[in-house]
């Protein structure tokens, strides 16, 4: 039995998620004659009705599918109603509880089906047994949500009255990814199969730590103080440089064991490709004049638009990082103008110390906020990428953070470029494991000591080096992992008060300077 997912037709949102998760998949074309043994799960597409007979054969023979409500309703002639929602909150005791909530800001579709059962009533996620197989039904259009480019100001939780906020991607793309992942895991388990995927990080690390610095409006004296803190703690930070001053560029170029990348020439993201390209080109030229060859870019204000995406591709940047496109998520290649971009997007945690200061955090609260974010990401095995503007000072906070994370077990320390290189290498890996007699079978040409596999079964999870072509599950010690959440007032987080209107006005004013 092949441990792969089949995607019916071209579905870029699902492709992004499956590549992020490292789950092997194939696209099922209209004329592909698949059998039950070919796929552990099939994700239905808009062409499902035209292939209804084949899909029903797959289900009745014991196959499992993931479907969106509109597609499922059309396939089984069910009534459906639509509803506009801003966000959905997961049930506390469902398999989806680790998602907490997901920002949708769009339409969900609710099917009327007495033969199905709720897996999470709040999220409107259902399961229906069909023949010897079954289907999980999601209420939203995954492709539409994952390829959404809108942004808005959001608040980020900390246990105090005033929450920090930032303008970020409008859709919770990381939460949508997790919902899809949990649904797929459930379907694999119902099919009595292990879910096998590539680990997120090299060398079987539990997580990675990256420190990003944006130097706009920064004096070199402040930058040098920050550099000293990094140097003393062996932190190889990634500096995104404001390139207006040739003198500052020369000074930055003298930093040892740090990555230097481009932030801007003019601190602005334009509405046209031509203007963005000119801004990028001048910045790159000035850096190269000082002996710096940047491969990465982070836009002013975290802004991203299609015009910038095209300019970045034209300039052949290796990666970029903009939280208005996505935040608190895994890297991905954006789907832009009908194709996947060649520029890797690396999401970060978008709340900087400056935003905490604007929300009247004390210095101790600032430190505790970052501790909370870092610990959560570490425990959930997610990338830890935080950022700072040196002109916001408070260097002692980052000195304390660096000293604490240096004690974390099995934590890797990378620059943005190193993470981008790893992620592109991982994205190009093609593994299609099979399962037989409780053993995972890998092709010898797929084995790689630098890559580890995550194997999930109902009893727990194991992280294994990809060194053997045969993995006997009876010989593996699987561990249960629990994701610890927090009590969050979701309604308060989504309520826009006078402070958010003020901060939006301040942002518009700053962009006009």
Give the tens place of pLDDT for each residue, 34-75. Answer: 888 999 999 999 888 888 899 999 999 999 999 999 999 999
Which of 158, 173, 198 is at the close of a domain? 198
456 has pLDDT over 60: yes
List residues bridging with 148 in a β-sheet.
none
Indicate if 164 and 99 belong to the same structural domain. Answer: yes
Question: How buried is 49 (Cβ within 10 angstroms: 0-12 exposed, 13-18 middle, 19+ buried)?
Answer: exposed
Indicate if 123 and 207 belong to the same structural domain. Answer: no
Indicate if 71 and 158 belong to the same structural domain. Answer: yes
As a whole number of angstroms, the distance between CA 442 and CA 445 comes to 8
pLDDT above 90 as % of the chain: 84
Indicate if 181 and 247 belong to the same structural domain. Answer: no
User: Are residues 87 and 101 in contact, defined by beta-carbon separation less than 8 angstroms?
Assistant: yes
Indicate if 64 and 148 belong to the same structural domain. Answer: yes
Strand 460-466: give its sheet, edge to edge.
195-198, 448-457, 460-466
Which of 362, 388, 423 is at the close of a domain? 423
Nearest CA to 447 out of 464, 463, 469, 426 is that of 469
171 has pLDDT over 90: yes
List residues bridging with 256 in a β-sheet.
none
Indicate if 82 and 219 belong to the same structural domain. Answer: no
Confidence of residue 390 (pLDDT cuts 50, 70, 90): very high
513 has pLDDT over 70: no
Nearest CA to 24 out of 43, 5, 11, 37 is that of 5
In this prediction, residues 422-449 reach a mean pLDDT of: 90
In this prediction, residues 164-182 reach a mean pLDDT of: 97
Strand bridging mode 344-345 / 195-198:
unpaired
As a whole number of angstroms, the distance between CA 209 and CA 375 comes to 11
Specify the pLDDT at position 445. Answer: 78
User: Are residues 136 and 126 in contact, defined by beta-carbon separation less than 8 angstroms?
Assistant: yes
Total H helices, total E strands in the chain: 15, 27
395 inside domain: yes
Specify the pLDDT at position 51. Answer: 86
As a whole number of angstroms, the distance between CA 220 and CA 250 comes to 11
160 inside domain: yes
Indicate if 188 and 285 belong to the same structural domain. Answer: no
- Encode pLDDT of 24-43 as tens digits: 999 998 878 888 899 999 99
Specify the pLDDT at position 3. Answer: 95
55 inside domain: yes
Q: Which domain holds residue 456?
A: 433-475
Confidence of residue 446 (pLDDT cuts 50, 70, 90): confident
Indicate if 405 and 447 belong to the same structural domain. Answer: no
Indicate if 182 and 306 belong to the same structural domain. Answer: no
Print the SS3 string covering 246-280: HHHHHHHHCCCCCEEEEEECCCCCCCCHHHHHHHH
Q: Which helix (H) or strand (E) holds 21?
A: helix 12-21
Indicate if 218 and 316 belong to the same structural domain. Answer: yes
Indicate if 109 and 228 belong to the same structural domain. Answer: no
Give the predicted TM-score (pTM) of the model: 0.95
What is the token pair recorded at 189? 């388990």
Helix axes 363-379, 395-405, angle to 10 degrees: 30
509 inside domain: no
Specify the pLDDT at position 386. Answer: 98
For the chain, how many structural domains are there in total?
Answer: 3
Q: Is 316 left (phi over 0), alpha (psi -120 to 50) or beta?
A: left
In this structure, what CATH number is given to the domain that contains residue 148? Answer: 3.40.50
Which of 198, 230, 265 is at the close of a domain? 198
492 inside domain: no
In this prediction, residues 120-136 reach a mean pLDDT of: 96
pLDDT above 70 as % of the chain: 98
Indicate if 194 and 211 belong to the same structural domain. Answer: no
Specify the pLDDT at position 504. Answer: 79
Confidence of residue 484 (pLDDT cuts 50, 70, 90): low
443 has pLDDT over 60: yes
User: Are residues 151 and 168 in contact, defined by beta-carbon separation less than 8 angstroms?
Assistant: yes
501 inside domain: no
Specify the pLDDT at position 210. Answer: 98
Confidence of residue 486 (pLDDT cuts 50, 70, 90): low
98 inside domain: yes
501 has pLDDT over 90: no
Specify the pLDDT at position 234. Answer: 97
The helix, strand and coil proportions of the chain, stated in percent and rounded to the nearest 5, come to 35, 25, 35
Specify the pLDDT at position 491. Answer: 74
454 inside domain: yes
């Amino acid at each position: 039995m092949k441990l792969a997912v089949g995607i019916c037709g071209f579905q870029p949102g699902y492709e992004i998620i499956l590549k992020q998760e490292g789950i092997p998949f194939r696209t099922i074309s209209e004329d592909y004659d698949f059998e039950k043994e070919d796929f552990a799960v099939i994700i239905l597409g808009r062409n499902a009705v035209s292939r209804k007979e084949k899909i029903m054969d797959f289900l009745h023979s014991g196959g499992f599918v993931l479907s969106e409500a509109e597609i499922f309703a059309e396939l089984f002639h069910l009534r459906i109603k639509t509803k506009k929602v801003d966000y959905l909150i997961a049930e506390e005791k469902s398999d989806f509880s680790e998602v907490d909530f997901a920002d949708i800001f769009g339409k969900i579709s609710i099917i009327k089906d007495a033969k199905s059962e709720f897996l999470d009533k709040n999220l409107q996620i259902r399961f229906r047994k069909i023949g010897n197989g079954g289907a999980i039904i999601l209420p939203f259009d995954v492709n539409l949500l994952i390829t959404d480019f809108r942004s808005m100001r959001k608040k980020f939780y900390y246990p105090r009255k005033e929450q920090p906020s930032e303008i970020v991607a409008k859709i919770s793309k990381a939460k949508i990814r997790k919902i899809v992942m949990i649904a797929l895991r459930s379907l694999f388990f119902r099919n009595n199969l292990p879910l096998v995927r590539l680990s997120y990080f090299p060398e079987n690390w539990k997580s990675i730590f990256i420190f990003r610095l944006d130097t706009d409006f920064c004096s070199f004296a402040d930058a040098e103080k920050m550099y000293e803190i990094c140097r003393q703690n062996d932190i190889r930070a990634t500096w995104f440089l404001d390139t207006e001053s040739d003198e500052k560029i020369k000074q930055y170029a003298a930093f040892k064991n740090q990555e230097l990348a481009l932030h801007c020439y003019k601190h602005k993201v334009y509405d046209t490709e031509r203007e963005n390209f000119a801004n990028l080109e001048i910045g790159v030229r000035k850096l190269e004049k000082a002996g710096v060859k940047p491969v990465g870019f982070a836009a002013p204000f975290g802004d991203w638009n299609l015009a910038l995406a095209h300019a970045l591709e034209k300039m052949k940047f290796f990666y970029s990082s903009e939280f208005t496109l996505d935040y608190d998520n895994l890297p991905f290649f954006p789907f832009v103008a009908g194709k996947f971009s060649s520029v890797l997007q690396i999401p970060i945690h978008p709340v900087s110390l400056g935003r905490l200061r604007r929300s009247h955090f004390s210095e101790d609260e600032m430190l505790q906020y970052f501790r909370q974010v870092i610990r959560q990401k570490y425990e959930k095995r997610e990338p830890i990428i935080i950022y700072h503007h040196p002109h916001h000072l408070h260097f002692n906070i980052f000195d304390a953070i660096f000293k604490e994370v240096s004690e974390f077990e099995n934590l890797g320390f990378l620059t943005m470029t190193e993470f981008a290189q790893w992620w592109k290498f991982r994205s190009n890996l093609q593994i299609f494991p099979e399962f037989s007699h409780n053993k995972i079978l890998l092709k010898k040409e797929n084995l790689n000591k630098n890559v580890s596999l995550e194997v999930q079964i109902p009893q727990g999870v194991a992280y294994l080096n990809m060194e053997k072509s045969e993995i006997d599950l009876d010989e593996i010690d699987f561990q249960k992992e629990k994701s610890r959440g927090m009590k969050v007032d979701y309604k308060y987080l989504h309520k826009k008060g006078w402070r958010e209107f003020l901060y939006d006005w301040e942002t518009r004013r700053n962009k006009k300077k």
